[in-house]
Structure 1
Amino acid sequence: MPWARARAVAATAAALGTERVPLSSAAGRILAAPVRALAASPAFDTAAMDGYAVAGCGPWRIAGRVLAGRPGWAGTLAPGVAVEIGTGAIVPDTAEAVLPYEVCRVDGDTVSGAREVKDHIRRAGEDARPGDELVPAGRTATAAVLGAAAQAGIDELTVHRRPAVAVLVTGDEVVTRGVPGPGQVRDALSPIVAALVERAGGGPLAHEYLRDDARLLRSAIDSADADVVVVTGSSSAGAADHLTSVLAELGARWLVNGVRCRPGHPQVLAVTAAGRWVVGLPGNPFAGLVAGLTLLEPLVAALAASPLPAPATLPVVGAARPYPDGVRLAPVELGAGPARIVPGARSGSLRAAAIADGLAVLGPRWVTGGRAAVLALP
């Protein structure tokens, strides 16, 4: 399948269900319903500055003090009367303005000063009234969104559920810690998968390491408590690559079976009969990163209702050999000018990608200086 089509197919997955979460757990989540105010904001006329609430013309006789969190002034302010007031305190009903301390002169129990154009009073409901829509559905719950919700009396938000992801790392040669011994390799793909899933809005991530055994792989996929199962190192056609046969046994519907790109050709996207998504990534680390950006990240983002931004299109310079039958993804560094290809990229090595800012998607007719889509690296 062409690379662009494969990535688009992964992005067509329907979003998962919704859930209610407290504000403390909602940061970064995608709103599944509008945020509507439960209370007026402000809930009462409140002082916007420390100073004196006054009525009429000055000078004013100071009749008392009102502070935030305390009961409001019991009486009314007659013309020529003032009460000292703190920011956030309830403004007396008949107050016409708050004079900031900076413009006041106090002499005993009398305050004088010139009233400013602003009255420094925030009127009840001027920001929002009960029922007002504060933020539409589909937006990310940012820090400001959470603060606005709290101001409006809201304790929970309705958000899209984050897809749970299980990572099945296959291979008798894979080790998880320390320096690999003869015939062994470190698991380099699990950290990549975790970074892609987090950026795409995915949720809990579980890991399991499997020997090269078809029965173990089938059992792990079939029993995974996850919306998406990522299988690393079993997507090709070698003697130890069992994903194709296992998916057939599970009655899976294939959406992508190989992509016309280099590196990362043997990548898989399927849905089992039980409705579980399966993404197969090649075991070579750089190829696995390419496949993760091609299929895994757009799939997780679609399930989380968090569409990915379109890649930037930039001039790309440097040495890379285009792939005649598809696209080549090359690591690039970004700066003030064109994207520059980092030399030395190989399917089994992440060294070039580790110092890159993105991957350029080079078409078969690309020449140095030509424009190309650039995927940002997490």
Structure 2
Amino acid sequence: MSTSRSLAEHAAAVLARVGPLPVQDVGLDALAVEGPGRVLGADVRAAALVPPFDAAAMDGYAVRLADLPTDGSPVTLPVVGDLRPGSPPDRGERDGGAVRIMTGAPVPVWADAVVPVERTSTGRFVAGGPTTEREVTLARQPRAHLRHRGEDVRPGDVLGRAGDAVTPALVAVAASGGLTALPVRRRPCVAVLSTGSELVPAEGGGIAGDGLIPDSNSLLLTALARAAGADVVRVGAVPDDADALRAALDHVVGAAVDLVVTTGGVSAGASDVVRAVLADDDARLTDVDVAAVALRPGRPQALARWRGVPWVALPGNPVSAFVSFALFVRPALAALAGREPPRPVRRPAAEAWPSPPGRTHVVPVRTLPSGAVARATAPGAGHRPGGHATSTLLGADALALVPPDVEKVEAGDGLDVLPLDLPLGAGG
């Protein structure tokens, strides 16, 4: 027996089954090569000054402004030293002169400005060349060209908040700020499998036709889950056999996944193996929730736990699976990772189109340069928009959510639009 509910009600039911994963300290070196998907589990604060010392912001000469005329006229000074990045700081006192200095080198304690080399009589430095000039002619400049100690980051400064994504910039600034690791939530691991005795492995050279079709759904969901920042255990196709499905579920749950996602078998047909398993009196199965969601496409949905692991069962039509992933699975993965899910934005419709009333109509759309959205179309001459056409997704970068009470979208109407931000929705 199915429970009738709205899109929002089913989305809430999915999110009620998941929660943020544990926090662990992970080294910056590992985070730098892991790729996307990690989220901070706690606020991160700097432990050191950035920069840690007063440094030259340009190649040139470190000088004391008191030695340069205030009217900007040039003066000739003796070159009394040479500092490069990695040189120990010059903490001695000097009566005057200029020190040859390269970008990033510590500025002598007595100096308060750097004159860029191109603004001096030297003109340019030769890479790798030794100090040859004994004196240099230069003048006061409008800027000091110094990076002062701690001007960028100070100990205790907040570099990131709990829930923020770990970005390359955060990894770099954390390293500069004296940190060696970040407190992050474990990346979600999702198991993906598709059901159907008609499916043959798309990557294994299986021959489609004569009632057989390639298993594109497990590839689709695997790519979508990876793009959403999750690790994936992909099983591939499982035939319409209840024992085979139970064995596959046991296998993936044994791999310590956080979420199981299946496609197919949730409707009312005689071959719908997911519905058959969900109707079993099986100790491994709990919290069964079969729903008829007021959604097009994607009406048949189901939820359960298999040996305690949340299981989200999506319909088998590829467009329905794509839409269901965006509306239900991607927010669940965000919740597991401890971050906010993508939210719809308001966009005007660029054109009119009919919409079947009674259910939220989810329409793949592409965003135009004007910011308005138009229905995505399948490639090829004469192809029209269609909810069943998987190739329509090739031109989509968002999903428009048309309310159940709307029978026709008019040009200029405001729509809630969910950006996809995923490689498989690379609209153009």
**Normalised by the size of structure 2, how large is the TM-score?**
0.80
| 1:240 matched residue in structure 2 | 271
- Look up the SS of the partner of 2:333 in the other structure: helix
- 1:229 pairs, out of 253, 260, 265, with 260
Q: Distance in 1 between matches of 2:63 and 2:325?
A: 65
Indicate yes or no: 2:45 matched with 1:36. yes
In the superposition, relative to structure 1, how do residues 340 and 258 fare at CA in structure 2: closer, same or farther (>3 Å)? same
Q: Distance in 2 between matches of 1:119 and 1:255?
A: 68
Return 5+ residue gaps in structure 2 as ranges.
69-74, 123-131, 378-383, 423-428
Deviation string 1:121-173 (CA, Å, 9 cap, x unpaired) is 22222222334322222211222112111212323221111110111222111
Indicate yes or no: 2:305 matched with 1:305. no
| 2:109 matched residue in structure 1 | 93
Q: What is the aligned-residue identity percentage?
A: 37
Q: Distance in 1 between matches of 2:405 and 2:173?
A: 50
- 1:83 pairs, out of 90, 99, 108, with 99
- Alpha carbons 2:195, 2:239 under 8 Å: kept: yes
With 253-262 and 283-292 compared, the bigger mean Cα shift is at 253-262
Indicate yes or no: 2:27 matched with 1:22. yes
| 1:330 matched residue in structure 2 | 363
Deviation string 1:246-276 (CA, Å, 9 cap, x unpaired) is 345233214562311122111122334x331
How far 1:182 sits from its partner (Å)?
0.7
Indicate yes or no: 2:400 matched with 1:360. yes
Indicate yes or no: 2:152 matched with 1:146. no
- Alpha carbons 1:6, 1:256 under 8 Å: kept: no
Q: Distance in 2 between matches of 1:41 and 1:310?
A: 36
| 2:311 matched residue in structure 1 | 278
| 1:64 matched residue in structure 2 | 81
Amino acid at match of 1:260: A
- Alpha carbons 1:53, 1:85 under 8 Å: kept: yes
In the superposition, relative to structure 1, how do residues 156 and 211 fare at CA in structure 2: closer, same or farther (>3 Å)? same
- Look up the SS of the partner of 1:252 in the other structure: strand
- 1:345 pairs, out of 370, 383, 386, with 386
Number of equivalenced pairs? 374
How far 1:46 sits from its partner (Å)?
1.2
- Look up the SS of the partner of 1:235 in the other structure: coil
- Alpha carbons 2:198, 2:211 under 8 Å: kept: yes
- Alpha carbons 1:257, 1:267 under 8 Å: kept: yes
- Alpha carbons 1:164, 1:227 under 8 Å: kept: yes
- Alpha carbons 2:342, 2:419 under 8 Å: kept: no
Q: Distance in 2 between matches of 1:175 and 1:246?
A: 22
Q: Distance in 2 between matches of 1:53 and 1:255?
A: 72
With 118-127 and 164-173 compared, the bigger mean Cα shift is at 118-127
Q: Distance in 1 between matches of 2:326 and 2:197?
A: 26
Indicate yes or no: 2:7 matched with 1:3. yes
Q: Distance in 1 between matches of 2:30 and 2:271?
A: 42
Q: Distance in 2 between matches of 1:131 and 1:357?
A: 40
Deviation string 1:281-320 (CA, Å, 9 cap, x unpaired) is 1111112112222221111111112222311222333333
Return 5+ residue gaps in structure 1 as ranges.
none
Q: Distance in 1 between matches of 2:233 and 2:29?
A: 20
| 2:145 matched residue in structure 1 | 120
- Look up the SS of the partner of 2:182 in the other structure: strand
How far 1:67 sits from its partner (Å)?
0.7
| 1:207 matched residue in structure 2 | 235
| 2:71 matched residue in structure 1 | none
- 1:291 pairs, out of 305, 320, 324, with 324
In the superposition, relative to structure 1, how do residues 337 and 105 fare at CA in structure 2: closer, same or farther (>3 Å)? closer
In the superposition, relative to structure 1, how do residues 287 and 180 fare at CA in structure 2: closer, same or farther (>3 Å)? same
Deviation string 1:203-232 (CA, Å, 9 cap, x unpaired) is 233324322111221232234221111111
Q: Distance in 2 between matches of 1:130 and 1:186?
A: 56
**Normalised by the size of structure 1, how large is the TM-score?**
0.90
In the superposition, relative to structure 1, how do residues 241 and 24 fare at CA in structure 2: closer, same or farther (>3 Å)? farther
How far 1:108 sits from its partner (Å)?
5.5
- Look up the SS of the partner of 2:187 in the other structure: coil
How far 1:186 sits from its partner (Å)?
1.0
How far 1:337 sits from its partner (Å)?
5.8
